[in-house]
Amino acid sequence: MVNVDKTLDCRGLLCPMPILKTNSVIKKMKIGQVLEMVATDPGSKADMKAWTKRTKQELLEMEEVSGLFKFYVRKTK
């Protein structure tokens, strides 16, 4: 299990709000810290992959439990 420094609740929010919020929150974190983001939009899977790739953040883990998507991102820059 990953050690989480901060959790961001994006349940009920739709594309692109989870990504915009994640981007905004991670800017205020320290390098090496891990953000847990929780979302319910099925589109967030592809969006988070694309966002971590573009912004060069590290997507550590992605899990899906009955319609709830959890993402663990480590701030690398």
Partner 1 sequence: MSELGNSATLAGSLREEYRKLFGEHWPPWVGGVLLGLINVFLFIYAQPWTSLDGVLNWGDWFFRLVGLYGGQAPLSPLLRTGSIINLGLLFGAIAAALLAREFAVRMAPLRELVKGFIGGVLMGVGATLARGCNIGGFFSSISALSLSGFAMMLGLGIGAYLGLRYLLWEVERGVAQSDGSVPATGNEGESTWRAIQPFLGIVFILLALAGAFIYDGVGYAQRGGILLLGVTLGIVNQRSRLCFVQAFREPFMTGDSVMTKGVIVALVVSVIGFAILKWTIMERAEEFVRPTFWQGSLIGGLVFGIGMVMAGGCGAGTIWRAGEGHVKLWIALFGYILSASLFRAFLQSSGLIPKLGKAIFLPEVLGWEFTLIVVFGVLLLWYLAVTWNEATGKFTAM
Binding site residues, partner 1, CB under 8 A: 9-17, 19-21, 23-24, 40-43, 45-46, 50-51, 53-55, 65-68
- By beta-carbon proximity to partner 1, the closer residue of 13 and 62 is 13
Kindly state the smallest distance separating residue 57's Cβ from partner 1, in Å: 10
Residue 61, phi-psi category: left (phi > 0), alpha (psi -120 to 50), beta (remainder): beta
- By beta-carbon proximity to partner 1, the closer residue of 36 and 41 is 41
Annotation marks residue 10 as catalytic: no
Q: What is the DSSP string of 23-37?
A: HHHHHTSPTT-EEEE
Residues tagged active-site? 15
